[in-house]
Amino acid sequence: MNAHIRELLGRILSIFRKRELDDDFDEELASHIEMATEDNIRAGMNPQEARRQALIRFGGVDASRELHRDTRGLPLIENIIRDTRYALRMFFKKPGFSLAVIITLALCIGANSAIFSILDTLILKPLPFKDSDQIVSIYTSHGDDSKKQPGNISQYLNYKENIDEFSHLALWWPMHANVVIGDEAVRLNIVATSAEIFDVLGINPLLGGFFTKTDSGDVSSDQVILTYSFWKSYFKADPEIIGHTIEINGKACEVIGVAPQTFEVFDAQSKIIWPIQLAPLIKGNMGLAGQKFVGRLRPGAKVSTVTARMTALEQQAFDDIPPFMKQGVDRNKIVAGMDSLQSSRVEPDLRLKLYLLEGSVLFVLLIGCVNVINLFLSRANARQGELAVRISLGSGRKAITRQLFVESFLLTWTGSALGVALAFGIIDIINVFTARLLPKSLPFSIDSRMLLFTLIIATLTALIVGIFQAYHICGSNLLSLTRNQSKSVSNGLSLRRLSGGLVIAQIAVTLILLIGAGLLIHSFANILGIDPGFNPQQLISARIELGANYRQDSQRYRFRELLENSLKEIPGFKSVTLSGSAPYSDSAYTAAPPPPSGKNEKPPVFYLTFSADVSYLETMQIPLIEGRWFTAQDSVNSRPVCVVGQEFIRQYFPDENALGMPITEFEGAPEIIGVVGSIRDLSEEERLNRRFPPIVYRPIKQNLMWIIIVSVRSPRPAPEVIALIREKVREVDPALPLDETGSMESIISASLSERRAIMMLLCSFAGIALILSAVGIYGVLAYDVSKRTHEISIRGAIGATEKQIISMVLRQGLWKAGIGLLIGIIGAFYLSKFMASLLFEVKPIDPLTFILVSVLLLFVAVLASYIPARQASRVDPAMALRAE
Amino acid sequence: MTESKLDLLQGTLDLLVLQTLYSMGSLHGYGIARRIEQTSGNEILLNQGTIYASLVRLQQRKWIAAKWGTSDNNRRAKYYSLTKAGQKQLIKETENWERLSTVITRVLSAPVEV
């Protein structure tokens, strides 16, 4: 065993001492021949004969040199090194070809690596927690196709009491809070959670400790834990942070620990972790928006038995909810279930988008490969002379094939290395502009898995390119070429068929990508085209959430009044409104059963409640349809009233005149005094794929909540307006931060950022594909024309006009494009339905998109064919014929 | 070279080289080749050049060592000699060979059953 290892080592080392060892052996060989010659002379031969005999006995000097080298070194590797050197020389001789291949592959592979790294980080890679497959996210679902709803407090308490299979259960409730650190007031993402979350995840504190329970079960609410990123960015990773005081929603809290960075894989948004206080939540029966319910299963717990227990508990609990909530829900269809934390991190919707992107970049890679194969094939054809000479000089097919593979590997790997560098850039961009698209993870980075993926992709590409080449070259009769250099027409034909077929495939795939991008663009245009129902221009808004110092209604009224008066004094503020909600402020829905009409029981209407003041309608520029808007007289002491949006009427009172009707389900049964136009809302479009939410407006004086949204219509620039608002708020209460500030146009635009990100990515992939296939058509036709110079010149000589020659070449290009289009349309027909949920008021088979995209692709194909066609028409018959 | 000379079995050349160096001490490639031819009574077919592949292999396995030196008639030549490991290997391979040849002889000389 040892001897073999030593031998291998010796063989490897000898590769690096080739020259030295060769010289050494030559000397030894010479000395051998000399000694043998001398012996032969002594035996009585003449010197010439003696040397001849010595050489005969030696048995072939070159052969023994070869044998010596092969025994001494690693022949395969040395051959590959030689082939590589040869390939490198060839590449530098034809830099255009090499660059074309490398750039094409760098683009395709770079995009693939970048998208893969996102997909991997979000979906494929196991989470960095101990036994992460035991961590589950718990949900309930009503009926077959209804959405998964995260568990709630009563469920949490119920399971903790009744299900033993969970070693730990935790509630997780992200929220915003007014945080005062030192003398700076900021609005931050924080999370209220039960102490078990750290046991569920199985993590230990980086600094300090985690929450410990008091005897009463709850953790005292004056302790907080910082996340690693927040500790690092805000406190500059201060090691003395434990014991500092931070004020959250008016309550002073002590920092007791810092969570490790892995924690942010679970939640990358929250900056501060706060103990949840269950008692007041249970008493107030509050819903927790955006909450999660997670647990760790005991080792060996069976998922099916646990879900069965959970479902039984859920169905029991259903009997206790208010009757109107039961409408439209079948008790027996209620299901409780769990997903692994890994899969629950990414909503199905986003998952679909990521797979869509990964699929599209793979298509782009396919198209790039076709171009590279075509480039290699046309070069292989040009090299047939050279290869034929090498074969006739004794190179075996094996050696030639090896040479071809070495070349394709060399170029693809170079391209991939560049691609990885490019992926760095792409990932940087993705990190910046898709912060909203991918909110649930750490920033993406390049890791070993991504590099491995790239290596696999690159190797596959190299193999495919190599196989096509070897098939083409070794399939043709090379020896016949030595006899009859390069003019073999039949050989050209098989190549033309092959590359023609590849170009058709390329066009088909490009069309599919373009249609995907087109559908997204059409959806985006539809969204942009919706009249928002109010005028977003010159409208600037900011959000204030009143903290613990505003428990009394009177305190909140007072604050509102002070702020309103000081804002109205500012010159250039044409109109100011301080309301409780505003479009695009991500409000929560409430459910109400509609009044029974006839005998039909209708499902509950989910509507938004907006508290608005007198100037709301004027500032927002929402049209009043019927009745009247609120006046200063609609206050606490007057009769409860409300105004509703048209959409509410459509869903709630479809058949009746709503004016003057009371909404009995509301506290005080307010009377409807007016109807206004519908307005758009973020959640409606993005989550429910509908245009308008039903809205009920209440006078702010009858329904003053904790949230105040200041909206100002002003021609002054948004940052200036916001600075002024901030100054005025500070004058009234320096502990109140502003949140969600900006012009309404930028808020609307931000609400579309996810859709825009997906659209832009898909569009850029489709754009790359389009360019690549244009190059593909051009390359194949140009090569074709160059091969057919002879034939074309004869056509010219016997009277073909320039036009006829141009149309001949164009026809060839268009014929391929046509077939490709047809195949692509059929493919898109089947594939586009997977995109249905990403589209907004566009059918997956959208005639407009299909037609426009086909026309675009055809136009590009004509353009790409025209250049070689023009070249063909310029062939001078006399010159070409003479050159033969 | 006539038809009747023996073709060497794969790997046996190494054994012969080791044995030659064992009996002769330090020797150059030509000397080894001649010695093998002579001791075999000129029965072994040997392209002298092939001996060098064997020498390289044995050297890489550290069974023999090589050094440039001067021959009897003042010619520069590369001299090979057996190392400790080479001696052990020689004993092992000789044993192997003897076992192999006994077994093969036994099989070949088994009486023909009718």
Question: Which of helix, strand or coil describes residue A408?
Answer: helix
Nearest to A32 among B29, B53, B73 (CB): B29
Q: Which residues of B touch A63 (CB under 8 A)?
A: 49
Contact assessment for residue A210 and residue A195, using Cβ atoms and an 8 Å cutoff:
yes
Q: Which residues of A touch B47 (CB under 8 A)?
A: 57-60, 64
Locate the chain A residue with the closest alpha carbon to B68: A28
Tokens linked to A666:
């509301």
Q: Which residues of B touch A6 (CB under 8 A)?
A: 60-62
pLDDT under 50 in chain A at which residues? 439, 481-490, 599
pTM over 0.80: no
Q: For chain B, how many residues are written?
A: 114
Nearest to B57 among A7, A28, A34 (CB): A7
Question: Cβ A64–B56 below 8 Å, yes or no?
Answer: no
Q: CB under 8 Å to A740, separation ≥6 — which residues? A: A541, A542, A543, A585, A747
Question: Cβ B47–A59 below 8 Å, yes or no?
Answer: yes
Q: Which residues of B touch A59 (CB under 8 A)?
A: 47-50
Q: Which residues of B touch A57 (CB under 8 A)?
A: 47-48
* pLDDT value of position A654: 75
- State the complex-level ipTM: 0.85
Q: Which residues of A touch B78 (CB under 8 A)?
A: 24, 27-28, 31
Question: Cβ A67–B63 below 8 Å, yes or no?
Answer: no
Task: Give the tens place of pLDDT for each residue, B45-84.
Answer: 678 888 888 898 888 888 999 888 887 778 888 999 999 9
CB pairs under 8 A between A and B: 81
Distance CA B101, CA B98 (A): 5
Q: For chain A, how many residues are written?
A: 884
Among the listed residues A624, A642, A619, A638, the one whose alpha carbon sits nearest the alpha carbon of residue A697: A642
Rg, C-alpha atoms of chain A: 38
Q: Which residues of B touch A71 (CB under 8 A)?
A: 53, 56-57
Could you tell me the CA-to-CA distances from A680 to A653, A691, A751 in Å, in that order?
A: 20, 6, 12
Contact assessment for residue A709 and residue A725, using Cβ atoms and an 8 Å cutoff:
no
* pLDDT value of position A286: 52
Nearest to B60 among A7, A25, A57 (CB): A7
Question: Cβ A3–B62 below 8 Å, yes or no?
Answer: yes
Name beta bridge partners: A743: A540
Question: Cβ B49–A61 below 8 Å, yes or no?
Answer: yes
Nearest to A28 among B29, B33, B85 (CB): B29
Q: How far does the CA of residue B24 sit from the closest CA of chain A (Å)? A: 18
Tokens linked to A442:
């750490």
Nearest to A6 among B53, B60, B71 (CB): B60
Contact assessment for residue A717 and residue A571, using Cβ atoms and an 8 Å cutoff:
no
Could you tell me the CA-to-CA distances from A92 to A99, A274, A319 in Å, in that order?
A: 10, 63, 79
Q: Which residues of A touch B57 (CB under 8 A)?
A: 7, 71
* pLDDT value of position B74: 80
Question: Cβ A31–B73 below 8 Å, yes or no?
Answer: no
Question: Cβ A32–B28 below 8 Å, yes or no?
Answer: yes
Among the listed residues A695, A598, A713, A716, the one whose alpha carbon sits nearest the alpha carbon of residue A651: A695
Among the listed residues A175, A174, A178, the one whose alpha carbon sits nearest the alpha carbon of residue A544: A178
